[in-house]
Structure 1
């Protein structure tokens, strides 16, 4: 019965120390993709420790479970785990951890359903404000332009992902800044960052008292933006994407002295402008984001997210 306890202690120690170590390190700012994988490994390790502890506790408490778990293993393996003499807490530990696993699956299912509903609502709103023309198929345009006085750009993932941008943003974006915006959002889509946000949000909502899950959610929101910034900067240069961020957000007060919900935007701009070994625009041809674009009528988005935030 010592192995399940050791696994629980290992999971608790990982959940306690790993977030602190990652928070104190400075390399996640330079390598956000590696940091994303590191955070996923931390959370997966914690969940794996809990799952293995649940399995071994159940095997120690009930002979039927033990027979299925260790059916192909030699008898010496069962003796090595010392499961023949279960402790008084084996059954209770297995039940509690099983309930936690069921609750986790329920939270993930709930998050997926809510995300699909939000996505369907946003697409219905977009279709209402930008109706299809005769003979046009839904999702045929990868870029949809809406009339609006507020500069906005956001990504709608799905089977036919689309970048939605307002006419005010087009007037502000200069040169290849629009191509950089599209490359930023394509970075989100190609890396399936929406799934990372769904999973981290589900864990944080399902276990609000577990700090590692809350930190996982917060870091996912930050690191996916840094990773997408790097995707755009490798093609069009750091200065181009930094200027696009400034142009889309300067009227929102995010660069003022008072904190705002978009306080991460100045930090991203500062990172792009001060990063060592600044990336130069690649030799690739521009994306030419205005290709396959149809200008749509409709009011500007009142609550559309700024560049770097995409609908999940």
Structure 2
């Protein structure tokens, strides 16, 4: 029963080393989309390690489970996993990750339910503040303009989605700067960043004592904004996008000596104005491919005894 323990150890090492390596790297701010992918692969590897350890422990602890897991496996493969020599901790090793998995699913469902409730409230507010125009179909995809003294714009996911902008933003932003803000919000929508935020929030809320999940949530919030900034800057230029961010947030106190909310906006503006060029395409491809191997590693480790038995 050393294989489930080895998988748990591999998951713990990934959870510790992955965030540290990403924190020391100099490329995530230059390539936020690649960084989003790498973070997802790191967290997926941790979850795969736990799932495989749970499965093998359950197969060793309960004959019925082992019969289903290894139903079509040759006898040599079954003997290689030594299912008949399960120790007293096999059931615990199986039940603990299983409970964590059920809890994670419950947290994700709770997060999605809460998000939908928030969307319903915001959509009800939109219907009150911006009713349908004569002849407009209820399900039409439209830009919603709200009367407000606060400059703001946001994308409201759902069916149908809504791109909302306030009259203050329309007055303050002109021409390409307004287009850059709208392109930023559309970048969130096309990449479905809301699901990344839901998943990261569910893991962080469900396991508040696990640092990798807290870091995952924080980085998802930061990187999705950088990725959307890049969508806008590729269409309308870095300077235009930076000026649009400044004008949209200048009355929120984020550029003062003690910024409160939206404290990341100055860093985003600085990045747009000073960030070096993107990484070469070959390096982006290498990073993407290497990250994809991270969750594949525990699968290979789990198959090692079986492959040895077949090869022998």
TM range (shorter): 0.7 to 0.9
- Mean alpha-carbon deviation: is it higher for 160-169 or for 2-11? 160-169
CA distance in 2, matches of 1:189, 1:11: 32
- Contact 1:226–1:268 (CA under 8 A) maintained in structure 2: yes
CA contact (8 A) 1:187 1:232 kept: yes
TM-score with structure 2 length normalisation?
A: 0.87
Does structure 1 retain, via aligned residues, the 8 Å contact 2:153–2:182? no
- Find the counterpart in structure 2 of residue 272 from structure 1: 272
Bigger helix share: 2
Deviation at 1:141, TM superposition (A): 4.5
In the alignment, does 2:161 pair up with 1:161? yes
Tell me how far apart the structure 2 counterparts of residues 189 and 177 of structure 1 sit (CA, whole Å).
19
| Equivalent in the alignment of 2:150 | 150
TM-score, length of structure 1 as denominator length: 0.87
Q: What is the CA–CA distance in structure 2 between the aligned matches of 1:228 and 1:150, rounded to whole Å?
A: 22
Deviates most, 11-20 or 134-143? 134-143
For residue 53 of structure 1, what is the aligned residue in structure 2?
53
- Structure 1 distance, partners of 2:165, 2:10, is 47
How far is the alpha carbon of 1:69 from its aligned partner? 0.1
For residues 65 and 221 of structure 1, what CA distance do their matches in structure 2 show?
Answer: 40
In the alignment, is the contact (CA less than 8 A) between 2:141 and 2:161 conserved in 1?
Answer: no
Instruction: Note the residue ranges of structure 1 that are not aligned, 5 or more in a row.
Output: 279-312
Alignment RMSD, CA only? Answer: 1.1
How far off is 1:82 after superposition? 1.8
Tell which deviates more after alignment, 166-175 or 269-278.
Answer: 269-278
Residues 273-306 of structure 1 show CA distances to partners (whole Å, capped at 9, x for unaligned) of: 002249xxxxxxxxxxxxxxxxxxxxxxxxxxxx
Matches within 5 A, 1:47-86: 47-86=47-86
| Secondary structure, aligned partner of 2:175 | coil
Query: How many Å separate the matches in 2 of 1:161 and 1:221?
Result: 20
4+ residue runs over 3 A deviation: none
Provide the residue aligned with 1:23 in structure 2. Answer: 23
**Structure 2 residue aligned with 1:239:** 239
Provide, for residues 151-175 of structure 1, a one-character-per-residue CA deviation record: whole Å limited to 9, x for no partner.
Answer: 1111101122121111111111122
The alpha carbon displacement at 1:139 in A equals 4.5
Q: State whether residues 139 and 162 of structure 1, in contact with CA within 8 Å, keep that contact through their aligned partners in structure 2.
A: no
SS of the residue 1:30 aligns to: coil
Q: 1:135: Cα distance to partner?
A: 2.5
Residue 288 of structure 1: aligned partner: none
Q: How does 1:1-312 map to 2 (within 5 A)?
A: 1-277=1-277
State the alpha-carbon separation in 1 of the partners of residues 277 and 245 from structure 2. Answer: 20
Q: Which residue of 2 aligns with 1:302?
A: none
- Count of equivalent residues: 278
Does structure 2 conserve the Cα–Cα contact (< 8 Å) formed by 1:152 and 1:169? yes
